[in-house]
Amino acid sequence: MPFLHGSLSFSRFQVVGGSPKRLDDNLMDKFRGHVIGKGKARSDGVEIGWLGGRHLLDREFDADKNVILDCLHFGMRVDSSKVPPDLMRAYVEQEREALLKANENWKPARVRKEAIEAARQRAAGEMKDGRFRSMRQFPILWDTRSDVIYLGATQPAVQERFMSLFRDTFDKRVERMSAGRLAYQWAEAAGNSRRIETAQLAKYVPHARGNGHIEVYWTAADPASRDYLGNEFLLWLWWMVAEQSDVIHLPDETDASVLIVKQLTLECPWAETGKQVLTADGPASLPESRRALQGGKLPRRVGLILHRDGVQYELALQAETFNVSGGVLPKLEKQPGEPVRGDLREQAEERVEQVRHFSATLDVLYHAYLAKRFSDDWARVQRDIAGWVLDVDTPDAIRSRMADTGVAAG
């Protein structure tokens, strides 16, 4: 499965109340109790359950196989059954023709009603036999040391099914590790919770109608959400690479080099001028990208190359959810003088540590932004970013443009 090889796409969840301390057969029994095939299909015809992690049909759980270091590697399968619409219409027509021959005096409305019901029963019987079953698997890595679960899916519907199955299995909740959730965690550890709670979107471009508009439509439904900090983070990264340095000093005393590559998606936070998707080797350098910023758009997804601790990663990062797509980790290669690695367990353990370091690199880079964002120096940084966004470089011009946004220029 992809967490142990290949590229990565995932969303992350925090286990509320902590992970189990013992990764033993008692824990395996909980998985076995909710393995795919043991439950009943839900009202929508979908069945979900756990997989052993090796392949689509692996329903076996064993600590020797599923426990890697202090992590659990397994999967989730979603089975659904649905008759293709064209086939369902054909069934109805076949039943209608048969009913007309047997019941010449029936009215057309009755014939149609009976035909539809007969077709539904026919389809239900075939679905019960598994004729139209679709099976999808999603890899999962549960890091019990950090209480973080990596789900190999970014679709909200799959995330909801995972959260429900996890709750049913372990009687525990998991929470999405979105940009806002990560910011709250950082603030609690740094003693900055109050600043997060009172934070407002950093504005750089004035709206034509002043302040009487939605600031960020994709977080407007939840006043407590701070997921827009993910959009600010990507804009800050962009500014840092363009105007300051592509090497950023991090809170853990390491350095990370950053490149924006391949893709850049920007969208109007006011839901007025739509979305712009740019694809190029260096999309942030395109004139269109700067014009999009000056029109008020914010980055929502960006392709990145990150280099930290001598290790390079490539990925696409979604701003608000912090979901990762197309994550490329270094290949596991033998060191000079070492024998060729033939131990699959050793390779799996090294890969798990790579995933951890990859995740930590994203987090510590975000922490560097949060530390700056909620520092006393933020007013100056915001002015500098505003001057870059608005393409003005004098303090008076920056103050004038920022005053139009209703944000103090410091």
Query: Same domain, yes or no, for 193 and 238?
Result: yes
Query: Same domain, yes or no, for 78 and 122?
Result: no
Assigned domain for 410 exists: no
Assigned domain for 296 exists: yes
Give the domain range for residue 397: 182-333+341-403
H/E element holding 299? Answer: strand 298-308
Q: How many CB atoms lie within 10 A of CB 348?
A: 18
Query: Same domain, yes or no, for 115 and 231?
Result: no
Of residues 208 and 170, more confidence is placed in 170
What mean pLDDT do residues 122-130 have? 82
Of residues 134 and 1, more confidence is placed in 134
Assigned domain for 272 exists: yes
pLDDT bucket at 400, cuts 50 / 70 / 90: low
What token pair was written down for 68? 């890697």
Query: Same domain, yes or no, for 162 and 246?
Result: no
Q: What's the mean per-residue pLDDT of the chain?
A: 90
Query: Same domain, yes or no, for 244 and 269?
Result: yes
Query: Same domain, yes or no, for 277 and 322?
Result: yes
Q: Which of 14-28, 36-50, 85-99, 252-266 has the lowest mean pLDDT?
A: 36-50
Planar angle of CA 170, 174, 175, nearest 5 degrees: 175
pLDDT greater than 60 at residue 118: yes
Assigned domain for 166 exists: yes
Q: How many CB atoms lie within 10 A of CB 180?
A: 23
pLDDT at 175: 97
How does pLDDT run across 54-112, given as a tens digit for each residue? 999 999 999 999 999 999 999 999 998 888 899 999 999 999 999 988 888 898 899 99
Assigned domain for 409 exists: no
Planar angle of CA 295, 319, 322, nearest 5 degrees: 175
pLDDT at 335: 56
pLDDT greater than 70 at residue 265: yes
pLDDT at 338: 55
Query: Same domain, yes or no, for 325 and 396?
Result: yes
Query: Same domain, yes or no, for 63 and 78?
Result: yes
pLDDT at 22: 94
How does pLDDT run across 239-262, given as a tens digit for each residue? 999 999 999 999 999 999 999 999
Query: Same domain, yes or no, for 120 and 77?
Result: no
Query: Same domain, yes or no, for 109 and 141?
Result: no
Query: Same domain, yes or no, for 109 and 170?
Result: no
What's the residue count for the chain?
410
Assigned domain for 289 exists: yes
pLDDT at 248: 97
Query: Same domain, yes or no, for 248 and 345?
Result: yes
Assigned domain for 408 exists: no
| Overall number of domains in the chain | 3
In whole angstroms, what is the distance from residue 390 CA to residue 402 CA? Answer: 9
pLDDT greater than 80 at residue 396: no
Of residues 75 and 401, more confidence is placed in 75
pLDDT bucket at 212, cuts 50 / 70 / 90: low
Residue that is last in its domain, among 120, 148, 176: 176
